[in-house]
Structure 1
Amino acid sequence: MPPISHDMLWLLASGAMIIVAVWSDVRTMRIPNWCVLSGAFSALLIASMPGGLGLADALIGGAVGLALLLPLYIFRILGAGDVKLIAALGMFTGMPGIFGLTLATFASGGVLSLLWMIRHRQSANVLSNLRTGLLHGVMDASAGKLPSAQNFPVSQSRMPYACAIAAGMVLYVLLSKRF
């Protein structure tokens, strides 16, 4: 039996982490820390192998992934598990791959959010929350204050964002010149 290729190991490890994260997020609206930590550890091991990204590039990819999505956690748009999942995937993709992955995730998330909103008949509620948040944000800005996360009411029905992250990763892999 021939040895497993580096790229195949990369796909298997990142895919396993994403599958567990999506399964858990859909069932419980949580992504377990053990899933993200084991994925991050696998990413660092794969990055340190011959032909890998290198530890520095993997760590930078993880840090940039964390930095890109942390504001969305602060504004209660995403959960902490989603941010940690992107950070772990950033360790798989490295730099500048994390930017492509994040862009693909946002595009996938936008499409899936619209489908989720329509499926759960939340259009009026979501648009009302958006209008309220933007109105309060503009009022804060005109008063010289920074807009607050409390300006945006939280919708009743929340989409498991690990699905968007998984779709973004599939899109990233399909469009990547790496594979």
Structure 2
Amino acid sequence: MDIAPYRDTLLLLLVTAAAIKDLESRRIPNLLLLAGVLGALLLHLLSPRPVTALLSALGGCATGLAVLLPFYLLRGMAAGDVKMMAAVGVFTGAGDALRIAILAWCAGGVMVLVVLIVKGRLRLALANLWAMLLPILLRLQRLPSPENSGRPSAGAIPYGVAIAAGTIVHLVSRYGATPLA
């Protein structure tokens, strides 16, 4: 049985629901992600080559986790966003998870720029970026780094929306509506 259309439909439903929840509450429910992952795993088990499909799901989960975890560790992203990308990887496998993450970074970058410009916080964001990079640059030169001054946030975006956008663009390109790759 070809599970791809069912898997992609479930993935589309998952990322849409997660984006809506992220927009309304700035949280992505763990239960929603767990239900999606369990659905994807069930579909992988029903595929013609379940072992291969499950190994692909594991690789996709690891890739989704690996590409966003550093941002979470630097406090630039919430844990729900990282878990959402890992869940997307369970559906897609490693290669597509990486493509979706790149598309999500692009969508997120556009979203951030729009929010910073609309709220007039672009200068603060650039100052925060400099404050993050300066200690790294000084350490590379073996110079003492300044004390972290706890700068105010320039703002945040519901990154689940960016992940959903990247996933949707990927799925649309896969089914031929607009070839992007």
TM, length-normalised to structure 2? 0.83
Partners of 2:71 and 2:149 lie apart in 1 by 14
| Partner in structure 2 of residue 163 of structure 1 | 161
Tell me, yes or no, if structure 1 residue 50 matches structure 2 residue 47: yes
Partners of 2:172 and 2:70 lie apart in 1 by 28
Rate the CA distance shift 1:97–1:121 in 2: closer, same or farther, 3 A.
same
Partners of 1:18 and 1:175 lie apart in 2 by 16
Rate the CA distance shift 1:121–1:139 in 2: closer, same or farther, 3 A.
same
The amino acid that maps onto 1:165 is: I
Rate the CA distance shift 1:177–1:135 in 2: closer, same or farther, 3 A.
same
Tell me, yes or no, if structure 1 residue 30 matches structure 2 residue 13: no
Decide whether the 8 Å contact of 1:129 with 1:152 is kept in 2.
no
Partners of 2:15 and 2:151 lie apart in 1 by 29
Secondary structure, in 3 states, of the residue corresponding to 2:120?
A: coil
- Quick one: percent identity of the two aligned structures? 31
Moved more, 114-123 or 80-89: 114-123
Rate the CA distance shift 1:151–1:84 in 2: closer, same or farther, 3 A.
farther
Tell me, yes or no, if structure 1 residue 132 matches structure 2 residue 144: no
2:12 to 15, 25, 28: 15
Decide whether the 8 Å contact of 1:32 with 1:81 is kept in 2.
yes
Residue correspondence of structure 1 range 28-177 to structure 2 within 5 A:
28-51=25-48, 54-143=53-142, 153=151, 155-176=153-174
> May I ask how many residue pairs the two structures share in their alignment?
173
Partners of 2:160 and 2:79 lie apart in 1 by 11
Partners of 2:69 and 2:176 lie apart in 1 by 27
